[in-house]
Each structure stands twice: as structure tokens, then as C-alpha cells.
């Protein structure tokens, strides 16, 4: 059994990760703010699966240290963040403090407490300086960010890399992914949750940027990458360089917002969104893509779910829960199906069964 501390465990990805690890027989602790109303964390009663559930702000350095001391983790997966681009325009200071100083607090705690054997710092695909290219960004491309969220995550990314290179501490790596879909996301200004809310209310959804191209990926493929990266950190293998960044994104081609919306509408049985752009007061990138060749080559990672299957699983989850299915049962069923897919690929079986 492995002891994990997940920061941001009450969020969308955090709840899925906590359920994955707990259902695989690991010891799971969490540190985060309270979940938003209707979150997967509450719907699936994730707190019942945790050994420690700390509710505090990652900007509070002392609280982070206390949580790491209590959890005594072997692996930390740091995901606590202000994760929304549009919210970052409204609350830029909160976004920077949470994403940058919060990351610093976790790095300091992991170093000072001791016993941590691997630390995965999760950033985003939006850390790259976006020049409009359609081919995927590789890990060595320049970082940037024209909105407060992207800039703050680029700062956190660089901070984690420089920290790992210059200071003693646990083996640390940076994971970059984005545009993750899956059941249970209730965040505002995210495409699939917005579509589902529209369909449930009988409304025709609006799209802010229907022709924007994105690398859509199921949450389980994304989390599988994080866990494979954590495994090699603990084992002392690759990555060879402290703080090394890794992309976890789906294979091309990219898919537009409009095409994803049309598929979700067809699967749900809702009214498709019109393809004209809706109101948007903030700038958003028109094209975004990752090149994950390094993760496939050196970690053996790959996306197990194609775009169509990822969308099918996502809509299936929302529809089942909408029709009365238990959110925890539905999540665990999809986790088990994913494990079955992974078991056919030897390089992907490390977290498919309970850890030894």
C-alpha cells in the first residue's frame, strides 16, 4: 500500500483520483477547500474513503505543513489551484496567490517534513506561450500566458522546476494536461458541465468560441499519466532531471468546441448549440494542443479512450446520475472498466490493481 496526499482533492480531478487510489487499496489523504455545491466529491461521498480530510487554504503555509506532517505521505500529487480562466480575470490576485504561493507552500512542506518519495506538481497545457500553432507544444517550448490563470500556472511550473533543480527535496516532476472531460464536473464556464446544465433545464446552450480547437481527454487518461509519473519518481527511474516537465495530452486531431457540443447533444438527446459565437468578454486561445511523445516513449503512457469514447463515457456518467444512479457506484464502474482496458497493456497496469 502507498500513502498519498492529494491537494485539491475536493475538485473534479481530485475526487476521481482519490476514488481511483482508495479503490486500489492505497491510503489516501486530502488537503483542499470545501467542495463547490453539487461537486462529485460530495455526490460520491469521497470523504468516507479518506484516512485524512483536511479543509484549509493552500495559501496558508502553516496549514500545509501541518497537513503533510499528519498525512506522512510517500507521494504528493499537488492539484490545489484556482483552475478557471474566466475567474482569473475577476480575481487575479487570488489566482496568483493560490497557484504560485500555494505551490511554493507545498514544495516547502514536502522538503521540510521528510519521508516523501515522489512529488507530482500538476500545472496545465495553458502554460505554453501560445503562438497559434496547430501542432502540439513540446516540453521544451517557451512558457507564457496572456491571461492571469495561464500566467500563474506558468509561474508555478517554473517555480517547481527551479525548486527541484536548486534545493534538496523529494524527487519532483511537473505534469501538464488540460481540457479534461468526465462525469461529475460541475465547474462554471467549462463546456461539458455547461452543456449538461442546459440540457437538464431544457435550454439551447450557447458557445463562446465554437471554432476553438482543443485536445479533449478523459479524466482517467490524464490521471493515469500522473500516477505513472509518480511511480517512476518513487522507483528512482526516469525522469532523469529534477523538476522535469511531462505532457499528457491525447493524440491529434484536435476537435472544435462546436463538434464536441454536437456529439454531447446527440448522445444526451438535447438541442444542439448554434455554431455562432455567444457573448464572451474575455480573450481565449483559439488553438491549443500538446505533443505527448515523451510520455509515450519514456513512460509507456497513452490515451486508452479515443475522443468519441471519452465523450460517450462522460455523457453516460451524467445521464445515469441524472436518471437516479448513485454517483459513487457510477464512478467506480467506470474506474473498473478503465482498469480492464489498461490490463491488456503491460506498461499501463501499475495502478490497475491494488498496489503491493
**Residue 340 neighbours by CB under 8 Å, 6+ apart:** none
pLDDT in tens, the chain (356 residues): 899 999 999 999 999 999 999 999 999 999 999 999 999 999 999 999 999 999 999 999 999 999 999 999 999 999 999 999 999 999 999 999 999 999 999 999 999 998 999 999 999 999 999 988 888 999 999 999 889 999 999 999 999 999 999 998 999 999 999 889 999 999 988 999 999 999 999 999 989 889 999 889 999 999 999 999 999 999 986 666 789 999 999 987 789 999 999 999 999 998 888 876 655 566 667 788 899 999 999 999 999 999 999 999 999 999 999 999 999 999 999 999 999 999 887 655 444 333 33
The answer to whether 290 touches 123, Cβ cutoff 8 Å, is: no
- Alpha-carbon distance values, 236 to 28, 155, 229, 295, 309 (Å): 22, 26, 11, 16, 34
The answer to whether 285 touches 128, Cβ cutoff 8 Å, is: no
Query: How far apart (Å, rounded) are the C-alpha atoms in residues 191 and 198?
Result: 11
Tens of pLDDT, residues 59-91: 999 999 999 999 999 999 999 999 999 999 999
Tens of pLDDT, residues 161-216: 999 999 989 999 999 998 899 999 999 889 999 999 999 999 999 898 899 998 89
Query: How far apart (Å, rounded) are the C-alpha atoms in residues 36 and 22?
Result: 22
Residue 258: how many CA atoms within 13 Å on its side-chain side? 10
What is the separation, in whole angstroms, between the first and last Cα of the chain? 5
Boundaries of every domain in the chain: 3-347
Grid coordinates representing 107? Answer: 514544495
Dmax over Cα atoms in the chain, in whole Å? 55
DSSP string, 156-176: HHHHHHHHHHHS--S-EEEEE
What is the chain's alpha carbon radius of gyration, rounded to the nearest angstrom?
A: 19
Per DSSP, the three-state class of 207 is strand
Query: How far apart (Å, rounded) are the C-alpha atoms in residues 279 and 274?
Result: 13
10 Å CB burial of residue 132 (0-12, 13-18, 19+) is exposed
Domain 3-347: give its CATH code.
3.40.50.720
Pairing between strand 172-176 and 213-214?
A: unpaired
Amino acid at each position: 500500500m502507498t500513502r498519498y496526499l492529494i491537494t485539491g482533492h475536493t475538485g473534479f480531478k481530485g475526487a476521481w483520483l482519490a476514488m481511483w487510489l482508495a479503490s486500489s487499496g492505497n491510503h489516501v489523504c486530502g488537503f483542499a477547500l470545501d467542495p463547490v455545491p453539487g461537486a462529485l466529491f460530495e455526490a460520491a461521498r469521497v470523504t468516507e474513503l479518506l484516512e485524512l480530510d483536511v479543509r484549509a487554504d493552500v495559501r496558508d503555509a502553516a496549514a500545509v505543513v501541518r497537513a503533510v506532517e499528519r498525512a506522512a505521505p510517500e507521494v504528493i500529487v499537488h492539484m490545489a489551484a484556482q483552475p478557471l480562466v474566466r475567474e482569473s480575470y475577476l480575481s487575479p490576485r487570488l489566482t496568483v496567490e493560490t497557484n504560485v504561493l500555494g505551490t511554493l507552500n507545498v514544495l516547502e512542506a514536502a522538503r521540510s517534513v521528510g519521508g516523501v518519495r515522489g512529488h507530482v506538481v500538476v500545472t496545465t497545457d495553458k502554460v505554453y506561450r501560445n503562438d497559434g500553432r496547430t501542432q502540439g507544444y513540446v516540453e521544451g517550448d517557451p512558457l507564457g500566458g496572456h491571461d492571469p490563470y495561464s500566467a500563474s500556472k506558468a509561474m508555478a511550473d517554473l517555480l517547481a522546476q527551479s525548486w527541484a533543480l536548486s534545493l534538496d527535496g523529494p524527487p519532483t516532476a511537473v505534469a501538464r494536461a488540460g481540457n479534461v472531460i468526465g462525469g461529475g464536473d460541475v465547474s462554471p464556464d467549462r463546456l461539458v458541465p455547461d452543456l449538461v446544465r442546459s440540457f437538464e433545464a431544457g435550454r439551447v446552450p450557447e458557445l463562446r468560441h465554437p471554432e476553438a480547437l482543443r485536445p479533449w481527454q478523459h479524466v482517467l487518461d490524464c490521471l493515469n499519466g500522473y500516477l505513472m509519473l509518480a511511480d517512476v519518481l518513487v522507483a528512482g527511474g526516469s525522469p532523469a532531471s529534477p523538476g522535469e516537465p511531462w505532457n499528457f495530452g491525447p493524440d491529434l486531431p484536435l476537435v472544435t468546441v462546436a463538434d464536441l457540443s454536437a456529439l454531447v447533444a446527440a448522445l444526451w438527446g438535447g438541442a444542439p448549440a448554434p455554431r455562432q459565437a455567444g457573448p464572451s468578454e474575455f480573450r481565449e486561445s483559439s488553438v491549443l494542443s500538446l505533443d505527448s511523445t515523451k510520455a509515450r516513449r519514456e513512460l509507456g503512457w497513452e490515451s486508452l479512450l479515443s475522443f468519441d469514447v471519452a465523450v460517450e463515457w462522460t455523457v453516460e456518467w451524467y445521464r445515469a446520475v441524472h436518471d437516479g444512479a448513485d454517483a459513487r457506484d457510477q464512478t467506480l464502474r467506470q474506474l473498473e472498466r478503465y482498469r480492464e482496458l489498461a490490463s491488456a497493456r503491460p506498461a499501463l497496469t501499475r495502478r490497475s490493481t491494488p498496489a503491493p
